[in-house]
Amino acid sequence: MEGQLEQFFYEKFISNLETGRVRLKEMWNSDQKWTSSEWTKKVTDAAQKATLDSLDALNAGDKQVAAKGHSDIHGYSEYLTIDVTGYDEATWSHPIIAVEHENSVCIDKIKYCAWKLLSVRAKLRVLICYIDPSRKYINAPEKFEDLEIDKIVKDNPNTSFSVILGHWNNDPLKSESWKEVYKLKTLSDICQTM
C-alpha cells in the first residue's frame, strides 16, 4: 500500500471535492476563487477526509486527524503548524500523514510549506498548492518548475512527498472532473525536473 499511498490519497481528495462540487463551482464563479478563506476551508475539509480514508486503508490503530476546523480527541486542530496531521493516538509515534494547503501566490511561501513538510517524519507528506499559467495573478508561479520544489526535496530522495497542483486557469465550471484542475506530482515526477 505504501507505494500507492500518494495515488490513494489523491483519489480520495478528488472524490471529496466532487462531493462539494456545486458549492465549490459557485465559489469559483465568484471573484474570491482560490484565495478565499471559504475555499481554504473546503480544500482542507477534502484533505482531512482523504487523510481519514488513507489511515483506514493503512489500518492505523487509534487513528486521529487534527486539521484546521477539525479538532482531534485532545481538542487540537493543528500539530506543528501543519494544516492536516493524521496519526495513531495509541502510539504517539511520528505523524503518518502530513498535509499543507497553500493558496498563496508567493513562491517563497509555497517553498516554505514544502520545507516544513520535509522537516516532519511521516509516511506521506502532501503539499497542495497552485500555479497560474494564465498570468492572471502576476506574482503567482506560472509553471510547476517555478516552485523549485526539486531543490528542496533533492536531499530527501527516500521519502514520501507529493504535490497536488491546482491550475488556476483550469476552470472547474468547464471541467468534467476536479482531476482537470488538480494534478498529482509524486516524488519521482519532481525528481525528473532535477
Which single residue is written with the C-alpha cell 520544489?
149
Report the Cα 145 to chain-centroid distance in Å: 17
Among 137, 151, 83, residue whose Cα is nearest residue 105: 137
pLDDT at residue number 3: 60
The residue type of 175 is: S
Q: Residue 36 and residue 30: Cα distance in Å, rounded?
A: 10
**Nearby residues of 145 by Cβ (< 8 Å), 6 or more positions away:** 193
pLDDT in tens, 140-172: 888 888 888 888 887 776 678 899 998 877 777
Distances (CA, A) of 137 to 64, 127, 133, 144, 174: 37, 20, 9, 15, 20
Instruction: List the chain residues with pLDDT less than 70.
Output: 1-3, 20-35, 157-158, 173, 188-189, 191-194
pLDDT at residue number 129: 93
Containing structural domain, residue 157: 2-192
pLDDT at residue number 33: 60
Tally of structural domains, the chain: 1
Burial of 171 (0-12, 13-18, 19+ CB in 10 A): middle
pLDDT at residue number 82: 95
Query: Model's pTM, two decimal places?
Result: 0.90
Dihedral-angle region of residue 33 (phi above 0 means left; psi in -120 to 50 means alpha; beta otherwise): left
pLDDT at residue number 22: 57
Among 105, 129, 117, residue whose Cα is nearest residue 184: 129
